[in-house]
């Protein structure tokens, strides 16, 4: 029997986060001006700071900034500096937006709420499992790197260390196959194909969340109309 969700009111329903995040991604992809992308990045960073997520965000930057820098370098070589700046800011905005909406979200809550909407269980299971295994595999990678470094294998980024990365990839590949086999056995033993599954919780979208999604949709439609009318051609915006 489903149990009503009893989380604090400041926590958004997982479906609300997903919809608002999709609208944000759409707006960012529609934007091709560096100034607007920089303004959006400042707003997102302010939201992260005021939302109490500054510490995990700074930790995530250690992985995000090298990726953004790599995109900038490749774009400068392929295009020009202005285009490279725009593409780098767009990627940074997308990564920051994903962190803002989905950091701290329990994959189980997201999968269960989507099931309540009528999404097939198999799709929800794939989504939930992928969200869980990404950080899990990241932990496995760190453990393998620590073990290989203790054996004197240098895995720091560098051209000379490229042959050494086989010592990371091979154990990771073996562990991935082992995890996949364990997951398949667990699914089979727990009756993955069984019909008539029930929900552990009942998820409800509040009227305030509906209002927030309506306002966000209005801004998105208005922004699209403004761009189609020529507003996006302004040299500053």
**pLDDT tens digits, residue range 98-157?**
888 888 777 778 888 888 877 887 788 887 887 777 777 778 888 888 888 888 888 776
The predicted-structure confidence for 172-202, as pLDDT tens digits, reads as follows 888 888 888 888 888 777 777 667 666 667 7
Contact 22, 75 (CB under 8 A): no
pLDDT at 199: 66
- pLDDT above 90 (res 93): yes
What is the distance between the alpha carbons of residues 97 and 47, in angstroms, rounded to a whole number? 10
Q: Which two tokens stand for residue 203?
A: 């998820």
Supply the pLDDT for residue 217: 93
Q: What is the pLDDT of residue 169?
A: 85
| pTM above threshold 0.85 | no
Q: Which two tokens stand for residue 7?
A: 């989380």
Q: Would residue 71 be called left, alpha or beta, if left means φ above 0 and alpha means ψ between -120 and 50 degrees?
A: alpha
Residue 167 has pLDDT above 80, yes or no: yes
For 46-85, how does the pLDDT look when each residue is reduced to its tens digit (9 = 90+)?
A: 888 888 888 888 888 877 888 888 888 888 888 888 899 9
CA pair distance 170, 156, nearest whole angstrom: 17
pLDDT exceeds 60 at position 1: no
Instruction: Give the pLDDT score at 99.
Output: 87
* Alpha carbons 58 and 44: distance in angstroms, whole number: 14
CA dist., res. 127 & res. 106, Å (int)? 12
Q: How many CA atoms lie within 13 A of 119 on its CB side?
A: 16
pLDDT at residue 193 in the model: 65
More confident residue, 184 or 97: 97
- Predicted pLDDT of residue 191: 73
Taking each helix axis from N to C terminus, what angle separates 81-102 and 34-50, rounded to the nearest 10 degrees?
30
Which pairs from 169-176 meet CB under 8 Å and 24+ separation? 171/144, 172/137, 172/140, 172/141, 172/144, 175/140, 175/144, 176/137
């Amino acid at each position: 029997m489903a149990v009503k969700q009893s989380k604090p009111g400041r926590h958004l329903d997982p479906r609300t986060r997903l919809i608002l995040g999709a609208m944000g991604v759409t707006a960012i992809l529609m934007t091709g001006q560096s100034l607007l992308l920089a303004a959006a990045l400042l707003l997102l960073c302010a939201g992260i700071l005021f939302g109490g997520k500054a510490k995990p965000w700074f930790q995530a930057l250690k992985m995000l900034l090298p990726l953004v820098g790599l995109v900038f370098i490749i774009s400068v070589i392929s295009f020009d500096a202005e285009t490279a700046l725009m593409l780098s800011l767009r990627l940074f905005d997308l990564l920051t937006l994903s962190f803002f909406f989905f950091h701290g979200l329990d994959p189980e809550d997201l999968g269960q709420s989507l099931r309540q909407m009528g999404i097939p269980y198999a799709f929800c299971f794939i989504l939930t499992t992928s969200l869980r295994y990404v950080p899990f595999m990241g932990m496995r990678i760190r453990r393998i790197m620590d073990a290989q470094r203790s054996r004197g294998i240098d895995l720091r980024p560098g051209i000379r260390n490229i042959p050494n990365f086989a010592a990371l990839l091979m154990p990771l590949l073996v562990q991935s196959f082992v995890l996949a086999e364990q997951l398949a056995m667990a699914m089979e033993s727990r009756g993955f194909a069984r019909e008539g599954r029930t929900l552990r919780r009942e998820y409800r979208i509040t009227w305030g969340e509906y209002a927030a999604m309506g306002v966000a949709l209005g801004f998105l439609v208005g922004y699209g109309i403004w761009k189609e009318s020529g507003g996006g051609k302004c040299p500053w915006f």
